[in-house]
Amino acid sequence: MIYVLGSINYDISLELERMPKKGETLLADGCGTGLGGKGANQAVAIARLARKYDDGRRSVKMIGRVGNDAMGAELMQKLDDYGVDTEFVRKVNRSTGLAMVSVSGKDNRIVVYSGANLGFTKSDVDEALEHATSADTLLCQLEVPLYIVGYALRKARAIGMTTILNPAPAKELPDDFYYNVDIIVPNELETQELTGINPRDESSQLAAMEKLLEKGVRYAALTLGANGAAISDGEKVTGHIPARKVSVVDTTGAGDTFVGALALTYPHVGMYSFKEACLFATKAASLTVSRHGAAASIPTFEEVCELYNNEIK
């Protein structure tokens, strides 16, 4: 089982010819609404990709909060429709999290109101992980209170679970976070925030990964957008995975797809090494950027394999 502790947002996405200047009002070319939030997007990625393996059983449990409002009810239903177990998603007397996403060409800009996502307590974590075992995984991001993420990682490590951290949005982390993380998956901006190194080329990427490993994590996967990913397990695998060239429509959910795909395929599917799991995740993300939306753009396992059958073993 994979447990995802994270945010659940109601996304409002606007398609723009260009981004507005200060004080300027623009008319949008299109508008869409739907499920979002890094936690929810990553849980959906796992659920959609896992359907090949779960035989109708739900492979991912979401630990989250929504408001006791119409948006919250809609998002709960969407999570359920996607195949995410919502047993540990709580409705609270606070507005559901909201994200305004502006998309212009390959550029996207996001403003988030956290709302119910800020209402987590340690008891939420305790209840959700009560029956977790060392065969399970905990996946976290940073759109919920930092002390809750730290508490969850420590508890998961004590159980013996595999722990994965997507340190987004970028922020400085306490040292003890790293010792409780097996796999860290930052993008370029987050890598620079955590290490002080801009991963602009192979040498700087290697230096950044070495610094993360020195801090205590076991594996690092730096997502580099159109440049693919740089990966290291500290021993056998250190290198670069190129991105597949595709026509980019919307980059909003690409990082979340990569993280969710990695969480599923390493170690759970069982046939993938860390490098192969990162390759699979890169291919899945390349499908996501060819579509509009966040959760709605995430591919299924069959879609990934249909396009890249000769590349994914």
| Burial of 125 from C-beta contacts in 10 A (0-12 / 13-18 / 19+) | buried
Name the DSSP class of 20.
Answer: P
What CATH number is attached to the domain comprising 189? 3.40.1190.20
C-alpha span between 86 and 102 (Å, rounded): 29
Residue 273's SS3 state is: coil
Structure confidence at residue 69 (pLDDT): 94
Residue 108 lies in a domain: no
d(CA 137, CA 156): 8
Q: Is the torsion defined by CA of 165, 166, 169, 175 positive or negative?
A: positive
Residue 13 lies in a domain: no
- pLDDT at residue 313, rounded to an integer: 47
d(CA 229, CA 259): 12
Say if 313 falls within a structural domain.
no
Active-site residue, from 124, 182, 250, 256: 256
Q: Kindly provide the b/e burial profile for residues 70-89, where b requires at least 16 CB atoms within 10 angstroms of the residue's own CB.
A: ebbebbbebbeebbbbbebb
Cα 173 to Cα 35, 155, 211, 249: the distances in Å are: 28, 17, 14, 33
Distance, in Å, from the CA atom of 215 to the CA atom of 37, rounded to the nearest integer, reads: 28
The number of domains in the chain is 1
In this prediction the pTM is 0.91
Nearest alpha carbon to residue 183 among 86, 301, 264, 287: 264
Closest CA to 250 of 281, 283, 295, 282: 295
Query: Is 209 within a domain?
Result: yes
Print the domain residue range for 180.
2-6+37-95+118-308
Q: Is residue 250 part of a domain?
A: yes
Among the listed residues 157, 131, 153, 133, the one whose alpha carbon sits nearest the alpha carbon of residue 144: 153
Q: What pLDDT tens digit does each residue of the chain (313 aa) get? A: 999 999 999 999 898 989 988 899 999 999 988 898 999 999 999 998 887 555 546 789 999 999 999 999 999 999 999 999 999 999 999 999 999 989 887 677 888 899 999 999 999 999 999 999 999 999 999 999 999 999 999 999 999 999 999 999 999 999 889 999 999 999 999 999 999 999 999 999 999 999 999 999 999 999 998 889 999 987 766 788 888 777 777 776 789 999 999 999 888 777 788 998 998 899 999 888 888 766 678 888 888 877 656 554 4
The answer to whether position 107 is within a domain reads: no
The Cα 286–Cα 268 span in angstroms is 22
256 is catalytic: yes
Say how far apart CA 170 and CA 188 lie, in whole Å: 10
